Amino acid sequence: MAMMHANLNADFWVEVRHRRPQSKRYTWEIHRKGVCLSVEESRGQFGSWEEASQVGNKVHFGVGTQRRPFQ
């Protein structure tokens, strides 16, 4: 399982993971500094690292969504 990171700031970041050899194999997770588990993760899978990263960043920044702030 390969991991790739897209740093957003010092406290939160998006990790994109390559989970399976089939199509739609990338997922994203948002992590918080000092917390072992992800604070949020994708519900679906994506066909490319770029697509998963873009959606993860949009969720992190709340683009086009009404959502609660991370705990």
What tens digit of pLDDT does each residue of 52-65 get?
988 888 887 774 44
For residue 35, is it within any domain? yes
Instruction: Tell whether the model's pLDDT for residue 71 goes beyond 70.
Output: no
Q: Which of 5, 66, 64 is nearest to 38 (CA)?
A: 5
Contact 13, 6 (CB under 8 A): yes
Range of the domain at 33: 2-61
Distance of alpha carbon 61 from alpha carbon 67, whole angstroms = 10
Question: What's the pTM value of the predicted model, to 2 decimals?
Answer: 0.63
For residue 23, is it within any domain? yes
Instruction: Tell whether the model's pLDDT for residue 69 goes beyond 70.
Output: no
For residue 22, is it within any domain? yes
Number of folded domains that form the chain: 1
Distance of alpha carbon 10 from alpha carbon 53, whole angstroms = 17
For residue 68, is it within any domain? no
**Structure confidence at residue 68 (pLDDT):** 46
Q: What is the pLDDT of residues 24-45, one digit of tens each?
A: 789 988 888 888 888 888 988 8
For residue 69, is it within any domain? no
Could you tell me which residue, 58 or 6, shows the higher pLDDT? 58
For residue 12, is it within any domain? yes
Contact 8, 60 (CB under 8 A): yes
